[in-house]
Amino acid sequence: MSAWNFIKHFPCKNLSRHIFKDRVKPLCFFTSYTPQSSFSISASLSTSYSSSSSSCFTDESFAAPYLSVRIHCPKHVLDSFSEALLCFGASSVAVDEDIEEEDEDAASGSSLASKEICIESIFPVHEEVKMCISQAANSIGLKEIPKFKVEMGDEQDWITKNQDLFQPVEIAERLWIVPEWTSPPVPEAVNIILNPGFAFGTGEHPTTKLCLLLLQSLIKGGEAFLDYGTGSGILAIAALKFGAASSAGIDIDPLAIKSASHNAALNNIPLEKLELHLAPSENSSSGREIPLQKEQFDVIIANILLNPVIELADHILSFAKPGATIGISGILSEQLPNVIAHYSPFVEDISVATIGDWVCLSGTKKGDFIDN
Amino acid sequence: MVQNNTIPKQKRRPNIFPLSPKPSKNRGSSLSLSSRSPTMAAAKEILTRRPVAATIRLTVPAGGARPAPPVGPALGQYRLNLMAFCKDFNARTQKYKPDTPMAVTITAFKDNSFEFTVKSPTVSWYIKKAAGVDKGSTRPGHLTVTTLSVRHVYEIAKVKQTDPFCQYMPLESICKSIIGTANSMGIKIVHDLE
């Protein structure tokens, strides 16, 4: 433990990350599948996986350092100063409402409490903070540069806070999504254990709920399921738990693939049942095709965003058998007509489910495209 | 909470999809979050007056929000659901050109829920883009970096007018404010660029 304390203060990012991760993440799943070559993850990914085996689902960009700056700003120029800071190089500007009230209540006698407010600002690590602040102050006509204090941002701070937020979620009766570090509240229910890392899909978002409910109604047993945009793998795993014969997951984010394979292991899913593939993103130069057969799947769900769903419509549909059910989500209700317009030439019997502003569209792929 | 609508094959018009009634159940889960359009947010604010924890301002590329810095630490500090924000923000900014830096203002409430509004890029960004410069002048007022024509100002004003907050402002005032910002950046506005 004393070594841990020492390391924490040591400005060595990688070292602290290794030690931290060993305590949180169970490494046992890695050793239980001994022949690494039988991992059905695309080849380029397995090499990067083994090299960072002790790191969690954060890569360099997440653990990037940042500068956390506290600035004391006169209240009356708060808005314009915040905007100016953002123009001149700050990544974000946050104003605590709490502190303002505390100062007034405490009546500490400091006249600054009523005239100044504290701004928490985040700057990229190579930015010249002093220059930015003085330029911002000049641009709005402040006579003097406000007082400020710069600290190195502690990335573990917000990463762990984010993890703590995830609680068990009940999607439907007897269907729960449970974080890795909690025990299931209802042991007899269908429990999907997850550690999403930084991939999307904890079951809390309305789109995930809509997709899970759709999946539950569609999977009768023995289907082949494709999760396009798998994120944490939640839908692919859920399909297997509902009785699908096999699941496949595709994502453009390597972190998502890592997260999904970790979650598959958490739910004791054998490799043959869940394939994961990294889709080439737009700016990758390799013309690598996804190694999945066309017209192979009975159910496909794509929970992404409007633009990808529209651009990839043909691609997504190409993996579906004729008569297969397609589910599309990640769409706001105002975007729905657009999606329907793009999918209706190929999909019939369209129905829509809604939670709040989010919708999920489902339909069946038309049998043939020959004009009758 | 969940509605199912089957659409007859021929008609696919928007008004067939009624939104479900305001999902009060959504907020029953242990992590309530809400993000709505500005007008509804204003109405809701008046009705409930949830205690506000903080106001956060950020610049995020349209369609490109990820839980990494700067979004991560800025929102993580207040225990806001990062993935939910990213998904919501990305969905709502799909109509903008990808990676356009959008100005986002997030109101974080004490119960870890939040609302946010999205504005088109800052005026200074448009000015810099139009002028083709990276940074403004180091000594505005004394040193002019480059010039723009009133035509540029007009185009920028037209885009800014689509912002929720500028909709009722006359174009002339928006133009004046743009000219003011340009001057503070050391960029002169002239009638015609030769």
Q: What residue spans define the domains of chain A?
A: 66-97+115-162, 206-280+292-365
How many Å is the maximal CA-CA distance in chain A?
85
| Nearest residue of B to residue A160, measured between CA atoms | B76
Which of A158, A196, A204 shows the shortest C-beta gap to B72? Answer: A158
State pLDDT tens for residues A329-341.
Answer: 999 999 999 999 9
For A173, list phi and psi in degrees, rounded to 5: -60, 130
Q: What is the pLDDT of residue A61?
A: 56
Q: What is the pLDDT of residue B193?
A: 66
Q: What is the pLDDT of residue A302?
A: 94
Q: What is the pLDDT of residue A114?
A: 59
Which of B20, B98, B125 shows the shortest C-beta gap to A355? Answer: B20
Q: What is the pLDDT of residue B90?
A: 92
> pLDDT band for position B126 (50/70/90)?
confident
Helix crossing, A13-24 with A2-9: angle to 10°?
140
The pLDDT of B86-115, averaged and rounded, is 87
Q: What is the pLDDT of residue A235?
A: 93
Same domain, B114 and B61: yes
In a domain, B145, yes or no: yes
CB contact under 8 A, A165 and B112: yes
Same domain, B116 and B55: yes
Higher pLDDT, A93 or B70: A93
Q: A338, A329, A337: which is closest to A356 by C-alpha?
A: A329
Q: Which residues of A touch B57 (CB under 8 A)?
A: 82-83, 86, 92-94
CATH 3.40.50.150, applies to A206-280+292-365: yes
Which residues lie across from A342 on neighbouring strands? none
pTM of the model: 0.70
Residue A260 and residue A163: Cα distance in Å, rounded? 16
Structure tokens at B193: 């660029």
In a domain, B117, yes or no: yes
State pLDDT tens for residues B33-49.
Answer: 444 455 666 665 555 56
The helix (H) or strand (E) run that includes residue A149 is strand A148-152
Q: What domain range is B152 assigned to?
A: 123-190
Same domain, B105 and B130: no
Boundary of a domain, candidates B105, B121, B137? B121
Which residues contact residue A34 at a Cβ distance below 8 angstroms, ignoring those fewer than 6 apart?
A: none
User: Hey, what long-range contacts does A44-48 have (CB within 8 A, 24 or more apart)?
Assistant: A44/A278, A45/A254, A45/A257, A45/A278, A48/A254
In a domain, B62, yes or no: yes
Instruction: Give me the total of CB pairs closer than 8 Å, taking one residue from chain A and one from chain B.
Output: 185
Q: What is the pLDDT of residue A284?
A: 56
Residue B53 and residue B109: Cα distance in Å, rounded? 5
Q: What is the pLDDT of residue B42?
A: 64
Listed as ranges, residues in chain A with pLDDT below 70 are 1-63, 98-114, 157, 282-288, 368-372
Same domain, B117 and B133: no
CATH of the domain at B157: 1.10.10.250
Higher pLDDT, B131 or B26: B131
CATH of domain A66-97+115-162: 3.30.70
In a domain, B83, yes or no: yes
3-state secondary structure of A108: coil
Which of A164, A307, A348 shows the shortest C-beta gap to B94? Answer: A307
Q: What is the pLDDT of residue A331?
A: 92
